[in-house]
Amino acid sequence: MPGPLPVSDVLLRTQRLSLEYTGADGSTISALRDVTLELQPHETVGILGESGSGKSSLSHAILRLLPPNGKIISGKIEYSGEDILALSRRELRQVRGAGIALIAQEPALALNPVLTIERQIIDVLRAHRRVSKQEAMEQTRAMLREVGFTDPERIGRAYPHQLSGGQRQRAAIAQALICNPRVLIADEPLSSLDAVTQAEILELLEKLKRDLHLSMIFITHNSGVLSSLADRVAVMREGEIQACGTLEQLARGTDEYVRALMFPEKNIPTRSSSIASLAASTSAEPLLRLDRVSKHFLQRRFLSRNVFQVQALKNIDLQIAEGASVAIIGRSGSGKTTLARCVAGFERPDEGQILFSGSRSNDRSEIQLIFQDAGSALNPRFTAAEAIREPLDIARRLSFPQRQERALQLMEEAGLDSAWAGRKVGEFSGGQRQRIAIARALAAEPRMLILDESLSGLDLPLQAQILRLLMDLQARHGLTYLHITHDLNFLPFFADQVVVMDQGTIVETGTPATLLESPQPVTKSLVAASERLHVAGMEVAL
C-alpha cells in the first residue's frame, strides 16, 4: 500500500491486526496476521480472497463480534479517530449499526424467524434514535421502499420464511442501513442467490452507495463483482494481505496467486474446437434424446388439505450428441434440476420419452449425476477410498484388492493424493469433496456425466480448477457432459451448446456466441445479469 494517509482522511483503519481462535482442545489457529487496511470516506474497498483467508474474521473483528473463542491479540482498530478496542460496551453499541453496519452471508439466517420484518428494523432504529413509534414505522417503510420493495406495508408485516432469498437479502440490507451508518461492511452478500438476483442486489448496493453516501467494504471471492464497485482491492491469503491496489494495478502485477484469483479463467484451456465439431458431425443418432417430455409435481402445503400442481417440465425436446458438452442455464425454478433428475433416472416423466443410446429402458447406469453439495452426496463416515469404491462394491464384479486399487487410481486422476485414501470424507474441504464425488462417478464407468450446479458453492478460483479437471477427464475418457447452472461463469470455455430454460420450457438453444447476442428476453436478462457481475470468461466469447 502507498504510504499512510493523514489521520483525518481515514474513516476506518485497522493497524497490524492479529487474531487467534482457540480450539476445543486448547490449540490456537492464527486467523489474521498483521492486517493493515484503510478506508477513506465515500470509498469502496474490496477484499478478495478464498474461503479460509480470514476475510470474514476481519469483518467481525472490526465490530468486536467475535465468538467467545476468538481473541484479538495485537493491533488497533480506529473508526473516525476513536479506538474501537478501547470503547466501553455502551459506546460500542452506538458504533454498531449507526456508525458501522455489517451485512453477513446467508441473509436467511440473519433474520429472526419469529419476528416480523418491520419489527426487526424498528428495533434497530429505536436502539439508536429517539423516535416515536409512528415515526419509526414511517422511516422503516421508507427504507423498505428504498431497497426496492413496492409494497412495504405487506412486506413489513411478513415473517422471513414468507419471503424469497432475494427479498430476504433486501430486508437484511434495509435493517443494516436504517440508521444511516457511514460504513457498510458487506460480507459475501451475493452467496446462495441465483445469478439474476445477484445482479439485482449488486445494483441495489451501488445505488444505495450513491444515495446514502456510504463507504463500503465489500468482501467476496469473485473478482468480477468488484470491477464495477470497488475503488481499491485488497487480496487476502491465509490471514494476511497479499496485495493491495486498484484492480488495474493488481492485474498488471506479477504475483501469480493474485492473478489466478482475479482471472480464474486463465486456468482453463479452451475446449478444442476440433473435438467440438467432431461431436457435432458424427453419427446421426444422438446419445441422449428427449421427446416432448413433461413432468408435474403435486405439492401440499404443510398441514393443509389443498394440493396444487406444479408443472416442472413442459414438452421438452432435446438432443445431445456423444462427446458433446452442453450447458443448461436458467433461474431457480426454471426446471433444470428436474430435467437433470429425469435424465439421470431419479424421476420418471409423466409424458414423452427419454431415449438413451437409442434405448427407452430405464436403466441409466451409464449416466451419473454429480450433486451440488458434495457434503450431502457423500456419507461423512466413509473414508475417501470407501466412497470412491462404492459403485464397484455394489457391482461386485472385481475382487476387493482390485477395487481398492482402482479407487486409488481414480483418486489420483481426480487430483487428490492417494495417501489420503484412509481419511474420512468429512475431513476434506468442499472442493476436495467434489473431487471425490467425481472420482466416484467415474468408478461407475459412465458415458455421460450430469453436473447439477456442482460448482455453485465453490470459490471462483476453485471452480476454475475443478472445471479444468472435468475438461481433462472428458478428453481422456470420451465423456459427454450436461452442465446445469444458473450463471454463465466460464461458459464459453466448456460449452459447445447452450440451452436456456424458463418455467419448465426450453426457451432457446445455441452456441455461447449466439446466445450473447440473442434478443430473447429470458436470455437477455441472464446475459445482462452476467455482464453486471462481470462473470469470468465472458470476454473470450465476444
Partner 1 sequence: MIGYLLRRIGHGLFLLLGVSLLVFLLMQAAPGDFFSTATLSERMSQETVHALRAQYGLDQPLPVRYVRWLNSALHGEFGYSFSYNMPASALLLPRARNTLLLTVPSLLISWLIAVPLGVFAAWRRVGWIDRLYSGGTSALLGMHDLLLALLALMLALHTGVFPTGGMSSFSASGTLLTDWKDLLWHMALPVSVLVAGSVAPILRHVRSSMIEVLDSRYIRAAEGHGLGPLTVLFRHALPAAANPLISLFGLSTALLLGGSLLVEVVMSWPGLGPMVLEAILGRDMFLVVGAVMLSTVFLICGNFLADLLLYVFDPRIRLDA
Partner 2 sequence: MKNRGKLTVTAGVLVAVHLLAVIAGFIAPYNYETQDREHPYARPARIHLTDCEGKFHLRPFVYATSPRDGTVNDYQEDCSRPEPITLFISGENYLLAGLVPTNLHLFGLRAEGRVYLLGTDGFGRDEFSRILYGAQISLFAGLLAAALALSLGMLVGTVAGAFGGWVDESAMRLAEIFIAVPWFYLLLAVRSVLPLHVSPLSAFIMVVAVIGLLNWGQPARLVRGVVLSGRERNFIQAAEGFGAKRLYLLKRHLLPMSFSVALTQMAVLVPRFILAEVLLSFLGLGIGEPFPSWGNMMAAAQQYYVLSSYWWMILPALAPIPVFLAYHALADVLQEKLQSTI
115 makes contact, choosing from partner 1, partner 2, none, with CB < 5 to 8 Å by partner type, with partner 1
Starting from the edge strand earliest in sequence, which strands make up the sheet with 448-452, in order? 367-370, 448-452, 480-485, 325-329, 497-502, 505-510
- Ranges within 130-189 binding partner 1 (CB under 8 A): 159, 161-162, 172, 175-176, 179
Phi and psi torsions of 220, nearest 5°: -160, 170
Closest CB 38 distance from partner 1, rounded Å: 22
Alpha carbons 363 and 321: distance in angstroms, whole number = 19
Are 239 and 31 in contact by the 8 Å Cβ rule? The answer is yes
Alpha carbons 356 and 291: distance in angstroms, whole number = 11
How many residues touch partner 1 under the rule CB under 8 A: the total is 37
Instruction: Pick the binder of partner 2 from 29, 394, 419, 528 (CB under 8 A).
Output: 394
Alpha carbons 373 and 456: distance in angstroms, whole number = 9
Per-residue binding string, partner 2, 439-478, x by CB under 8 A, is -x---x----------------------------------
- Ranges within 423-442 binding partner 2 (CB under 8 A): 426, 437, 440
Alpha carbons 386 and 443: distance in angstroms, whole number = 12
Part in contact with partner 1 (CB under 8 A); list of ranges 38-46, 104-112, 308-316, 324-332: 104-112
Does position 495 interact with partner 1 (CB under 8 A)? The reply is no
Nearer to partner 2 among residue 162 and residue 376 (C-beta): 376
- Ranges within 290-349 binding partner 2 (CB under 8 A): 344-346
- Ranges within 112-131 binding partner 1 (CB under 8 A): 112-116, 120, 123-124, 127-128
Alpha carbons 327 and 43: distance in angstroms, whole number = 38
The letter for the amino acid at 439 is A
Does position 63 interact with partner 1 (CB under 8 A)? The reply is yes
Per-residue binding string, partner 1, 73-102, x by CB under 8 A, is --------------------xxxxxx--xx
Largest CA distance in the chain: 77
Per-residue binding string, partner 1, 294-333, x by CB under 8 A, is -------xxxx-----------------------------
Alpha carbons 413 and 59: distance in angstroms, whole number = 38
Does position 486 interact with partner 1 (CB under 8 A)? The reply is no
Alpha carbons 14 and 84: distance in angstroms, whole number = 10
Can you spell out the DSSP letters for 125-183?
Answer: HHHHS---HHHHHHHHHHHHHHTT-S-HHHHHHS-GGGS-HHHHHHHHHHHHHTT--SE
Residues in CB range of 175: below 8 A, 6 or more apart: 111, 120, 121, 124
Per-residue binding string, partner 2, 350-369, x by CB under 8 A, is --------------xx--xx
Part in contact with partner 1 (CB under 8 A); list of ranges 60-68, 213-221, 287-295, 369-377: 60-68
111 makes contact, choosing from partner 2, partner 1, none, with CB < 5 to 8 Å by partner type, with partner 1
Closest CB 25 distance from partner 2, rounded Å: 5
- Ranges within 204-223 binding partner 2 (CB under 8 A): none
The letter for the amino acid at 419 is A
Instruction: Pick the binder of partner 2 from 380, 422, 478, 521 (CB under 8 A).
Output: 380
Nearer to partner 1 among residue 106 and residue 255 (C-beta): 106
Alpha carbons 264 and 509: distance in angstroms, whole number = 26
Are 395 and 406 in contact by the 8 Å Cβ rule? The answer is no
Residue 78 Ramachandran class (φ > 0 left, ψ -120 to 50 alpha, else beta): beta
How many residues does the structure list for the chain? 542
Does position 104 interact with partner 1 (CB under 8 A)? The reply is yes
Nearer to partner 2 among residue 111 and residue 450 (C-beta): 450
Instruction: Pick the binder of partner 1 from 29, 109, 280, 307 (CB under 8 A).
Output: 109
Among 349, 275, 346, 277, CA closest to 318: 349
Does position 24 interact with partner 1 (CB under 8 A)? The reply is no
Residues that bind partner 2 (CB under 8 A): 24-26, 344-346, 364-365, 368-369, 371, 373, 376-381, 390-391, 394-395, 426, 437, 440, 444
Residues that bind partner 1 (CB under 8 A): 63, 65, 68, 93-98, 101-102, 104, 106, 109-116, 120, 123-124, 127-128, 159, 161-162, 172, 175-176, 179, 301-304
